[in-house]
Amino acid sequence: MGNFKELRVWQEGVQLPTDVYKMTRREPFCKDYGLSNQIQRAAVSIASNIAEGDERGTNKESIYFFNVAKGSSAEVITQLHIAHNIGYIEKRTLDILEERTRKINASLKNLIKARS
């Protein structure tokens, strides 16, 4: 515990919002302040909760924050689908970012299992 920057899942979690921010800066997505803000916040929440969880003093506390990060990853996937359905992103972008988010989610499940 306490070395969150060394966790691969945290590193992947930091890259995801970087890509989400780049995606939401393009038109027409950038004009939808509600959805762009929501997906940005959810993406940032993933890595933030991984870091907070890893810094907690007990496995029980860590697991709580890792589960919050999993919930945020589900939010990101949902918002990616909404963005695709309304024409903000292409199917290829949806597929790439969803796969990366699912990979983070799977890594979180393994981390939770290891801390249980």
1 pLDDT more than 70: no
Cα distance between residue 22 and residue 93, in whole Å: 12
Count of structural domains within the chain: 1
pLDDT in tens, 81-101: 999 999 999 999 999 999 999
Q: What is the CATH number of the domain that holds 10?
A: 1.20.1440.60
Q: What is the mean pLDDT of the segment spanning 50-59? A: 92
pTM reported for the whole predicted model: 0.93
pLDDT confidence bin for 57, thresholds 50/70/90: confident
Q: Which DSSP letter does residue 32 get?
A: -
Q: Which domain holds residue 87?
A: 4-115
Label residue 80 exposed, middle or buried (CB < 10 Å: 0-12, 13-18, 19+): buried
